[in-house]
Structure 1
């Protein structure tokens, strides 16, 4: 029967081995490109500052943007709460 010191030693050894395995796995993924180093989100190439009285509809019409494209490059935009000077993305792409 194992003593409490032996049980502690076994537990400690298993803990060390698991920690080492996680460390090596993480290091290898960084070295060999397993991790994603490319930032994700929206790349906005052209913006527009909202003027007094402008609406999302007016901006889409003025810059010939479809609803789907406009919404995809401005995903968190609240068109009911625009303010003067707010930046609206007009041209860009998604990095997902």
Structure 2
């Protein structure tokens, strides 16, 4: 029968600690209280930016991102649907 020595125990312990650290994630949720509800959408056109669209529809940055919570403004594509009026 094999004996477990101190080096083996320490190595196993280090592996478990390392795996534990690697699997810990910070969960941060932002509860808005109300699920965003969109009333009007538009399709992105070539050259559009989030800022330009928000300005065109007289929306603040906060309200624009409030009704488009998962929108990545750096990766807009032509034809993408964007909410320009709604409740958040």
For structure 1, which runs of at least 5 residues remain unmatched after alignment? 1-39
Give the counterpart of 2:69 among 68, 75, 80: 75
Q: How does 1:77-96 map to 2 (within 5 A)?
A: 77-94=71-88
Question: Which protein is richer in helix relative to its size?
Answer: 1
Q: Which has the larger radius of gyration?
A: 1
TM-score normalized by the length of structure 1:
0.54
Gaps of 5+ in 2: 1-33
SS of 1:89's equivalent?
strand
Cα distance in 2, alignment partners of residues 54 and 60 from structure 1: 10
Following TM superposition, by how much is the alpha carbon of 1:51 offset from its aligned partner in structure 2, in angstroms? 0.2
For 1:74 and 1:57, how far apart are their aligned partners in 2?
13
1:64 aligned partner: 58
CA RMSD of aligned residues (A): 1.1
TM-fit CA distance, 1:42: 1.9
